[in-house]
Amino acid sequence: MTGYRIDDGLVAEHNAVLEAELAADYEHLGAKLARSGRDIEAITAEVQRFKVAVPTWGVGTGGTRFGRFPGPGEPRNVFEKLEDCATIQQLVRCAPTVSPHFPWDRVEDVTELKERAQALGLGFDAVNSNTFQDQRGQKLSYKFGSLTHTDPAVRAQAVQHNIECIEIGRKLGSKALTVWIADGANFPGQQHLTKAFERYLDSMRQIYAALPEDWSVFLEHKLYEPAFYTTVIADWGSSYLAATALGPKALCLVDLGHHAPNVNIEQIVARLIQFEKLAGFHFNDSKYGDDDLDSGSIDPFRLFLVFHELVNAVVEQRPGFAPAYMMDQSHNVTDPIESLMSSAIALQRAYAKALLVDRDALSAYQESNDAIMALETLKRAFETDVGPILATARMRAGGAIDPLAVYRTSGYRARKDAERPQTPNLGGGIV
Ligand SMILES: [Mn+2]
Over residues 24-70, the pLDDT tens digits come to 999 999 999 999 999 999 999 999 999 999 999 999 999 998 999 99
| Rounded to 5°, angle at Cα 61 from 286 and 102 | 90
Does residue 259 form part of some domain?
yes
In three-state form (DSSP H/G/I as H, E/B as E, the rest C), the secondary structure along 9-29 is: HHHHHHHHHHHHHHHHHHHHH
Please tell me the distance between residue 281's alpha carbon and the centre of ligand 1 in angstroms.
8
Please tell me the distance between residue 220's alpha carbon and the centre of ligand 1 in angstroms.
7
Name the pTM for this structure: 0.96
Whole-angstrom distance, CA of residue 294 vs CA of residue 126 = 21
Please tell me the distance between residue 282's alpha carbon and the centre of ligand 1 in angstroms.
5
Whole-angstrom distance, CA of residue 374 vs CA of residue 366 = 6
The CATH number covering residue 257 comes to 3.20.20.150
Average model confidence (pLDDT) across the chain: 96
Q: What is the pLDDT of residue 236?
A: 98
State the average pLDDT over residues 186-209.
98
Whole-angstrom distance, CA of residue 377 vs CA of residue 196 = 46
Does residue 199 form part of some domain?
yes
Determine the length of the chain: 431
Compute CA distances 302 → 7, 136, 222, 299, 413, whole Å: 37, 41, 19, 6, 32
Please tell me the distance between residue 126's alpha carbon and the centre of ligand 1 in angstroms.
12
Does residue 8 form part of some domain?
no
Domain span including residue 146: 39-358+388-419
Please tell me the distance between residue 18's alpha carbon and the centre of ligand 1 in angstroms.
36
Count of domains forming the chain: 1
pLDDT of 126-153, one tens digit each? 999 999 999 999 999 999 999 999 999 9
Please tell me the distance between residue 386's alpha carbon and the centre of ligand 1 in angstroms.
28
Does residue 314 form part of some domain?
yes
Please tell me the distance between residue 178's alpha carbon and the centre of ligand 1 in angstroms.
9
Under a CB-based contact definition with an 8 Å cutoff, are residues 283 and 325 in contact? yes
Does residue 164 form part of some domain?
yes
Does residue 371 form part of some domain?
no
Please tell me the distance between residue 328's alpha carbon and the centre of ligand 1 in angstroms.
5
Q: Which amino acid is it at 181?
A: I
Please tell me the distance between residue 71's alpha carbon and the centre of ligand 1 in angstroms.
22
Residue 211: name the closest of 165, 180, 244 by CA: 165
Please tell me the distance between residue 255's alpha carbon and the centre of ligand 1 in angstroms.
5
Does residue 200 form part of some domain?
yes
**Ramachandran sector of residue 210 (left: φ over 0; alpha: ψ -120 to 50; beta: rest):** alpha
Does residue 50 form part of some domain?
yes
Q: What is the pLDDT of residue 375?
A: 98
Q: What is the pLDDT of residue 378?
A: 98
Please tell me the distance between residue 237's alpha carbon and the centre of ligand 1 in angstroms.
17
